[in-house]
Structure 1
Amino acid sequence: MNLLQTLIAFVFALGTLVIVHELGHFLVARLCGVKVLRFSVGMGKVVFSRRFGIDQTEWVISALPLGGYVKMLDAREQNLEEVPPQDRQREFTCQNVWKRIAIVAAGPVANFILAILLFATLYMHGIPEPVAKIRIVPEQSAAYKAGLRGGERVTAVNGEAIELWSDLRWKLVQLAVEKSSARLDVSRPDPAHSTGALLDTVTVPLDGLAPEDLEGDFLGQLGISLARPPAVLGKIVPDGPAMQGGLQEGDLILAVDGKPVVDGLAFIDMLRSSANKPLQITGRRAGREFTASVTPEGQMQGDRIVGRIKAEVAMIPAMVSVSAAPVEAIAKGAGRTWDTSVLSFKMLGKMLVGEVSLKNITGPITIADYAGQTARIGIVSYISFIAFISISLGVMNLLPIPVLDGGLLLYYFVEVLTGRPVSARFGEIAQRAGMGILMALMLVAVFNDIVRLIS
């Protein structure tokens, strides 16, 4: 069932992005007066086709669902002597260079516009997300040395206000790529007043992160993680270890075998590593401390045994839902799309000079996996996934590789500068080289996918 859901989510996402990309080319070609012969979703053999419109454009679905194309009237591909005289002026290559640039650039631009609209929709809807509050910080970590201790709520990064954990992570990713420092404005609990807060600023250096750190939990490398609620017990399963040990719903767990419990996640970790071992638990109930002896029941999980006491433990972090008016949402969507695009180009540049590993390149298998995962999480996560992939598709197509839109744009800008088009011979050689580069990138991506799948 999960495999089917993953396939459906992947095909829908990819199909949507391909249609939007090719519609960009199609609509601008029509606006520029170029005749479009075919609009294809998919590559290879045609499995379905219909003709519509004044130009009788052929709309087709092709066998290989990994791309698409718009075929225009083009003297390089067909004999214009067979074309009616009234259509010859609508041939692509005879258009002025700025029209050709507009037609080619329209595909990636359409992907960026789609991402902006999707992000704007999410911002208008309001997304329940964890607040930017930091968990207890490990000693010797960069965050601890910078002055963070845990319990702080981050309100701004380098002067830019934030509220959500995702915003904090995003800003730190951008700064980590630049090997810069993060100046965090934080609100920390005031020990003198239970309801008060102290404002402070700490600077966390990010230049110590290695390129491979960015591929995983780089926040964990810094000692920063999302704050979790205290270890408060919820529903107790009858006759389970928790009930047998005398624990009750609403108990606040303070310590296990004398070791302080910082939150619900830490308590669960302690239980999981103590299968079939008696534990002395200290807690607070109705304002009074108590102790109980509980032995977590060992259960197989994967290839190891973990301990469980069959009781719910509070794990959901503090959440907030932030929504925006339409104009503000579109502005925020445009900002997020711009930042993501710039970061993508920077990452690609760092790959070229060896500062970032090629392991960051992903292929269709990983994308399909993420499509399935986000679809199972919910519509908000799935829409966010489509927005990010749309940006990635736009960025990829702007790379100056001859077989991509970016390669064609490079040709046309050379034509603008020199006043004459790139020679057919040079174009043919560049096409072959570009195809080789693209195939090499695909091989790297598929190899990375297989390694991730195996590991």
Structure 2
Amino acid sequence: MSFLQTLLAFMVALGSLVIIHELGHYSVARLCGVKVLRFSVGMGKVIYSRKFGPDQTEWAVSILPLGGYVKMLDKREQPDVQLSAEDLKREFTNQSVWRRIAIVAAGPAANFLMAILIFAGLYVYGVPEPAARLRAPAEQTVAFQAGVRGGELVTAINGKPVQGWSDLRWQLVQLSIEKTSAKLELERANAGPSGGKRFSTATIPSSALGADDLEGDFVGKLGLALARSQATLGHVESGGAGQQAGLQPGDRILAADGKAIADGDAFVNLVRASPAMALNLTLLRAGEQLSVNVTPASIVRDGKAIGQIKVEIASGIEMVTLRAAPLQAVSQAVVRTWDSAILQLKMLGKVITGEASIKNISGPITIADYAGQTARIGLITYLGFIAAISIGLGVMNLLPIPVLDGGLLMYYSVEVLTGRPVSERVGQLGQRLGIGLLMTLMMVAVFNDIVRLVS
């Protein structure tokens, strides 16, 4: 069932992006007066089609569900056919170079516009996400050495406000590619009855912000992780080690064997790592501090003994809702789309120059996996994923590789500069090179996908 959900989520995301991309080409072609012969979703043999409109444009579904195309009237494809005077006016190569540029650029532009509309809609509706509050890091991590101790809320990085956890990660990724250190501005509530807040900073050096593997747990490797709720007990199962030790719902675990328990996850990990080992727990119950001894039962799971006390542990995360007025939402969406596109280009440049690992190139298997994961999380997360992939599709198509939109734009730019089109021989040679390069990139991406899947 999970596989079918992933496949459906991937097909919906890919299909919508392909349709939007090709509608960009189609719409501008029609505005420029070019005759469109076919609009196809998918590649290869047509398996279903219908004709509509005064030009009897064929709207088709093709057998290979990857990509799509808009076929325009082009005399190069039928050199032996004599076109009428009317058709010659509407033939693609007879259009001015600026019209051809507009038609070709409209596909990637449609993908960027789709991302902007999705992001703007999400910002107006409100996007719930984890707050940028930090968990206590391990002592050997960069975050601990920088002064992070847990419980701090990151309010800004290098003076730029941080709105939530995804924004924190996004800014750190950008800084890692730019090889710039990150100064985190931190806010923490004062302990005790006086209350108030304490402010501090923690600087992550540029040497720790490597761009080698941004696809993995990049932030976690720095020691930055989401703060979890305190270790408060929920349901206590009858007959379990917890109930036998006298644990009750509402108990808050403060320490185990004299060592402080940071949060619910830390307590769960400790219990699992302590099969048949007595633990002395310090807990808070109705305002009174108590000491309780509990011995987790030893159970075998996946060939390994783990501890179990059969109690429910709260493990919540502080959430915030990011919301903006319509005009502000559009502005934020444009900035987010622009920054994402520029970041992808910078990352690709670093991969080409060897400054970043080739492992950062992802393919259809990883995209399908993320599509399934985000769809299972919820509609808002899934729409955000579609917007991000739409930006990626727009960027990829603008690369100056023959057979892509960017390759055609490169040819037309040469035509603008020289006053004459690129020769047919050069075009054919570029097409072969472009196909070879794309196939190589696809093989690398699929190989990376398989490695991630196996590991």
TM-score range, shorter chain: over 0.9
Q: Secondary structure at the match of 1:270?
A: helix
Distance 1:201 1:38 in 2: 59
Q: What letter corresponds to residue 244 of structure 2 in structure 1? A: Q
CA distance in 2, matches of 1:302, 1:127: 38
Cross-structure match for 2:368: 368
Q: In 2, Cα distance between the equivalents of 1:297 and 1:107? A: 61
Alignment of 1:126-137 (within 5 A): 126-137=126-137
1:187-217, Cα deviation, whole Å (9 max, x unpaired): 1233465521022333221323444343422
Once the two structures are superposed, what CA deviation does each residue of 1:167-198 show, in whole Å capped at 9, x if it has no partner? 11111111111110112222123346552102
- The aligned counterpart of 2:307 is 307
Residue of structure 2 equivalent to 1:164: 164
**8 Å Cα contact 1:228-1:264 kept in structure 2:** yes
Asked if 1:6 corresponds to 2:6, the answer is yes
Letter in 2 for 1:163: Q
The count of residues paired between Structure 1 and Structure 2 equals 455
Letter paired with 1:374: T
Distance 1:111 1:52 in 2: 25
In 2, distance between residues paired with 1:289 and 1:71?
Answer: 76
1:49 aligns with 2:49: yes
Matches within 5 A, 1:331-370: 331-370=331-370
Q: Does 2:201 align with 1:195?
A: no
* Residue in 2 that maps onto 1:329: 329
Map 1:283-432 to 2 at 5 A.
Answer: 283-432=283-432
The 5 Å alignment of 1:112-127 reads 112-127=112-127
Contact 1:231/1:253 (8 A) holds in 2: yes
In structure 1, the residue matched to 2:266 is 266
User: What 5-or-longer segments of structure 2 have no aligned partner?
Assistant: none
Residue equivalent to 2:234: 234
Question: 1:415–1:304: structure 2 CA closer, same or farther, 3 Å change rule?
Answer: farther
Secondary structure of 1:342 counterpart? helix
Deviations 1:384-438 (A, max 9, x none): 1111111111111111110111111111111111111111111110100010000
Query: Structure 1 CA distance, aligned partners of 2:362 and 2:301?
Result: 29
* SS of equivalent to 2:445: helix
1: CA distance between counterparts of 2:48 and 2:21? 20
More off after superposition, 253-262 vs 79-88:
79-88
CA distance in 1, matches of 2:359, 2:322: 34
**Rounded Cα–Cα distance in structure 2 between residues aligned with 1:57 and 1:4:** 34
Q: Which moved more, 1:126-135 or 1:36-45?
A: 126-135
What is the one-letter code of the residue matched to 2:224?
Answer: I
Normalised to the residue count of structure 1, the TM-score between the two structures is: 0.96
Kept in 1: contact 2:28–2:103 (CA 8 A): yes
Residue 100 of structure 1 aligns to a residue whose secondary structure is helix
Cα deviation, 1:26-77, whole Å, max 9, x if unaligned, reads: 0011011111100000001111000011111000000110110000001211
Alpha-carbon contact 1:124-1:325 (below 8 Å) kept = yes
Partner of 1:184: 184
Match of 1:383, SS?
Answer: helix
Distance apart, 1:232 and its partner CA: 0.9
Is this contact kept in 1: 2:157–2:185, CA < 8 A? yes
C-alpha distance after superposition, 1:246-271 (max 9, x if no partner): 11111110112222101111111111
Contact 2:185/2:202 (8 A) holds in 1: yes
Unpaired stretches in structure 1, ≥5 consecutive residues: none
Aligned partner of residue 212 in structure 1, secondary structure: coil
Instruction: Report what 1:436 is aligned to.
Output: 436
CA distance in 2, matches of 1:7, 1:359: 24
Runs of 4+ in 1 over 6 A off after TM superposition: none
Aligned-residue CA RMSD (Å):
1.6
What is the identity, as a one-letter code, of the residue corresponding to 2:406? Answer: G
2:398 is aligned with what amino acid? L
Q: How far apart are 1:150 and its partner, in Å?
A: 1.8
| TM-score, with structure 2 as normaliser | 0.96
SS in 1 for 2:92: coil
Counterpart CA distance in 1 for 2:35 and 2:275 is 71
| CA distance in 2 between partners of 1:90 and 1:200 (Å) | 66
Aligned position for 2:21: 21
